[in-house]
Amino acid sequence: MRASFIHCADTHLGYEQYGVRERFNDFTWAFWELVDEAIKRRVDFMVIAGDLFNKRAIDALTLIHAIEGLKKLKDANIPVIAIEGNHDRSYYREGTSWLQFLCYQGYLVLLQPRMVDGMPQLEPWDQQNMLGAYVDLLDGNLRVYGIHWLGSSTARALEGMSHSLQDARADEDASGVAYRLLMMHTGIDGMVARIQGLPTMAQFQALSGQVDYLALGHVHKPYEFDGWIYNPGSTETCSAEEVQWEDRGYYYVEIDTDEPGRIINLEKKERIHHAERLKSTRRPFVRHEIRVDGLNEPEDIYLRLESYCQDKGPAYAQTEKPPVVQVTLSGTLAFDAGSLDISRMEEMLRQYFNPLHARIDNHTSDQDYEPDEGDLDGRDRSLWHELERHIFEELLARDNRFLTAKEQWSTVLADIKAQALRKEEPAQIAQFLRDKRTTLLTPEKS
């Protein structure tokens, strides 16, 4: 059997990063690019390992953009098999997600195994009920399994999946299944320090030999192991942290079970597929850190920033897509933080980089600064709210539900704190939170 497929994940359609309208479009263009690549390469199918969308409640334009890409694949007779990520799942167990809607409309096959005591049941996908753990392709020679986002229950599901695959192996071989692919929306513990609680590599090893290709999503850093575990990373830049992972994108995989190829299958000890990670085209994203230690006054920081801008800015100012520029100030200030003119620094970024969006993140501390006697009550605390907002962002980033919209949610938390300090009625604060939640989940698009 010879076949090929595209493996992608974490496209996060609908993400209007930093509230910038054009960033919404960037995530769509990245998805459409891999769709065009799949058609160009005439692949046999595509798998989406979760987080097609950025949030559970999407707007009409996000849905339209998703359908436009999926319809092109459908018209090209390229089946799409998907699973739900933590951003795709409906709010309630009995609710219907937008991926289920796309499945009902025939744009993709959504794999959702029935869970019994935390264990996935290996039942074939039922088109009528839109449920099932696997679907067979290519005249039954290739089987695609899928497990949706399970959070803390993932490790238990891994163990159950391993046992179930062992039990099913004889029947699969008898029915002519030559290649097994498993999709999961989870990552490997330790790949990114701030994302914790994921299954360990040792727990994944239980699947070694049970599947030929493990297609992962969820963690936006690309990685692969031992010729059978693959994670492509995000197709667009969801946070400044991701800039360091330049090779993010999606995989183009060629399978050849007739004439062994280039990558070793751990059980069969023969080479049956070759996976090539393709870098997706993304908007330039500039990330830079300035240490303020040893700089004795604001002008010293401005000069250091201007020197960086003069050195790096011209190369980006003429790019086809204006960049997103984020500069982080870190360290301990030798003066009052209120003396820093953040607006001046952001204007400097706009002058030299001609960016789509410019942002100065102030992560400094002025804890060692001693004001003159009598100045304490007059200290400029105008930036304290900014420091507080960054603390909220860091806390929110620890929860995957809020990670990609941490900037907006940090502002909401700051507002709630202010209302509580003003001793506003709890019912009023709760209504404020409900209103903000609705606004964040279903923003207006111009």
Per-residue pLDDT band for 267 (boundaries 50, 70, 90) equals very low
Structure tokens that stand for 4 in this block: 């090929």
CA atoms within 13 A on the CB side of 318: 3
Kindly report the pTM of this predicted structure: 0.80
Which residue matches tokens 């030999």? Answer: 209
Q: Note the pLDDT tens digit of each residue in 388-440.
A: 777 887 787 777 667 667 778 888 887 788 778 766 778 778 877 877 777 67
Mean pLDDT of 271-276: 88
Domain residue extents for the chain? 2-279, 285-441
Beta-bridge partners for 330:
291, 363
Cα Rg, the chain, nearest whole Å: 25
CATH fold of 2-279: Purple Acid Phosphatase; chain A, domain 2 (3.60.21)
Q: Where are the beta strands (DSSP E) in 9-69?
A: 45-48
Structure tokens at 180: 């097994």
Beta-bridge mates of residue 196: none
Cα–chain-centroid distance for residue 420?
33
Q: Are 200 and 65 in contact (CB under 8 A)?
A: no
pLDDT band with cut points at 50, 70 and 90 for residue 386: low
Which of 95, 79, 98 has its CA nearest to residue 87? 98
Own/partner contacts of 340-343, CB < 8 Å, gap of 24 or more, are: 340/298, 340/301, 340/364, 340/383, 341/298, 341/302, 342/383, 342/386
pLDDT of residue 67: 98
